[in-house]
Amino acid sequence: MLVKEWAAREGLHPQTVWKWCREGTMPVPVEHTPTGMWLIHDPKYETRGAQAPAGGRTVCYARVSGPDRKNDLQRQADRLKAFALSMGVERPEVVTEVGSGMNDRRRKLNRLLADPTVGVIIVEHRDRLARM
């Protein structure tokens, strides 16, 4: 997790967290990457290997707003599948759809939400589900 994200979750200023990282006084494990980035490994927020509740399926949902963006759809689906595999999902199912985020006329998403066998839906950004 990035310093800025961890600081926001913990209610701290990012400068304070960077200082703790440099001084080695962080209360949780940290990693300094070769590019200079600090990664925080807080067990409280780690989700690696998380499984879908009660054996539910894990589905990757990729959506683009129009047919002119179809090239982006496959790349988005590939990124989601790679993420799911890195999180320990054995065989992630990928659902793709072309449709606006401004209304609820997204048949495939509505089917996923209504399906009781689906435990987790992975999206690239929140606005893939709906505009907020």
61 and 88 part of one domain: yes
Same domain (yes/no): 60, 123: yes
17 and 64 part of one domain:
no
- Say if 48 falls within a structural domain: no
Q: Tell me the per-residue pLDDT of 58-77, one tens digit each, with 9 for 90 and over.
A: 999 998 888 888 888 999 99
Predicted structure pTM score: 0.57
Phi, psi of 18 (to 5 degrees): -60, -40
Q: Do 57 and 88 fall into the same domain? A: yes
Catalytic annotation, pick one of 42, 57, 65, 95: 65
Q: For position 7, what pLDDT does the model report?
A: 92
Average pLDDT of the chain is 85
Is 60 inside a domain boundary? yes
Per-position DSSP letters for 12-53, written without gaps between them = --HHHHHHHHHHT--SS-EEE-TTS-EEE--TTT--TT---G
For the chain, how many structural domains are there in total?
2
Active site residue 86: no
